[in-house]
């Protein structure tokens, strides 16, 4: 019998997870830009991807409105990941690193916007 359980995390735990995920992404970016170590990048990328997916699942569970942001993030990340796997020159890796930076920054910005709007709507509905 398959039983589904829903778990929730408190705000502090959520922030710790967010910071840990950010640190993993930053380390991966460092490998891309500074070390240009394709073997290490290819080994760490799936771990970072899984952690990011788990973090986004928690976020999406708390804020269902964010699903369109998560979908766009995943699509773009898949494209970049595929290109990283095929990269062979330092120039390609450098260009991809910039795209990873832009993707991460844009995703965080959109997540923050959705969370702020959701909180605003919750406060507004409580007043009514």
Domain assignment present for 2: no
Domain assignment present for 6: no
Q: What is the pLDDT of residues 42-81, one digit of tens each?
A: 788 888 888 888 878 887 777 777 787 778 777 877 877 7
C-alpha–C-alpha distance, residues 64 and 57, integer Å: 10
Domain assignment present for 3: no
Tell me what pLDDT residue 33 has.
72
Domain assignment present for 83: yes
Q: What is the pTM of this model?
A: 0.62
Domain assignment present for 107: yes
Domain assignment present for 1: no
Confidence grade of residue 1 (pLDDT, cut at 50, 70, 90): low
| Residue 44 near residue 27 (C-beta atoms within 8 A) | yes
Domain assignment present for 17: yes
Q: What is the pLDDT of residues 104-114, one digit of tens each?
A: 777 677 777 76
Number of domain units in the chain: 1
Tell me what pLDDT residue 3 has.
73
Domain that holds residue 51: 11-127
Domain assignment present for 4: no
At 8, give phi and psi (nearest 5°). -125, 155
């Amino acid at each position: 019998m398959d039983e589904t359980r829903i778990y929730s995390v408190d705000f502090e735990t959520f922030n710790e997870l967010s910071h840990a995920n950010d640190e993993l992404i930053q380390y991966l970016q460092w490998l891309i830009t500074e070390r240009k170590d394709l073997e290490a990048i290819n080994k760490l990328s799936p771990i970072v991807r899984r952690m990011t997916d788990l973090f986004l699942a928690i976020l999406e569970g708390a804020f269902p409105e964010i699903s369109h942001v998560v979908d766009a993030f995943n699509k773009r990340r898949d494209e970049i990941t595929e290109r990283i796997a095929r990269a062979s020159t330092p120039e390609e890796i450098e260009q991809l690193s910039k795209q990873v930076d832009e993707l991460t920054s844009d995703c965080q910005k959109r997540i923050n916007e959705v969370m702020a709007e959701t909180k605003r709507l919750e406060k507004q509905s409580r007043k009514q």
